[in-house]
Amino acid sequence: MRLMKILLLLSFSALFSENNYSTKSNWLLETKGDEQKFKAIQEQLRGFDLAMVEVGYRFNSFYFAIEDKNYDLAHYQFDKIKKAIENGIQRRPKRKKNSETMFLTTQYKAMKRALSSKNSQLIQKEYSNTKQLCNACHIAERVPFIEVVDPKYRWQPIQ
């Protein structure tokens, strides 16, 4: 049986070396010309949807930071949510108006003030307002099927 395993491993080794099999990828380095490289990077970064993936990830940590009364972590994640949205606007400018009106110039500041106060009731009120405005923005951007709800599970092993 041991000999069989060794032969099998040698067979795979020979097969992959003959086919130049490699997990290494130089997809960007092998792209010719700066314009083509920038297009390739732009395709990878996509539009606002990828920014929202980061927002969702950070929102989970933000929610649990509030639950744990770890307001320093909540501040940190809320700032990163803002940055993700700003980066998303840069990639998809047509999302700017609603992002600014419903979050960046309004609710972001209100939530930050609440977190700075460390008043649990005020924080919960502004958290609820934040969530409602996220959902209102989704409706305004014609994605009403994306509903922000309170997370049930932590995605990160941090508190």
Rounded CA separation 132/97 (Å): 17
Higher pLDDT, 152 or 43: 152
The domain made up of 48-140 is a member of CATH 2.60.40: no
Report the length, in residues, of the chain.
159
pLDDT band with cut points at 50, 70 and 90 for residue 114: very high
Residue 15 has pLDDT above 70, yes or no: no
CA 133/CA 126 separation, integer angstroms: 10
Q: What is the pLDDT of residue 112?
A: 98
Q: Which amino acid is at 77?
A: Q
Are residues 130 and 113 in contact, defined by beta-carbon separation less than 8 angstroms?
A: no
115 Cα distance to chain centroid: 22
CA distance 126 to 129: 5
> What is the distance between the alpha carbons of residues 159 and 156, in angstroms, rounded to a whole number?
8
Q: Average the pLDDT over 59-74 and give the result.
A: 97
Domain ranges of the chain: 48-140
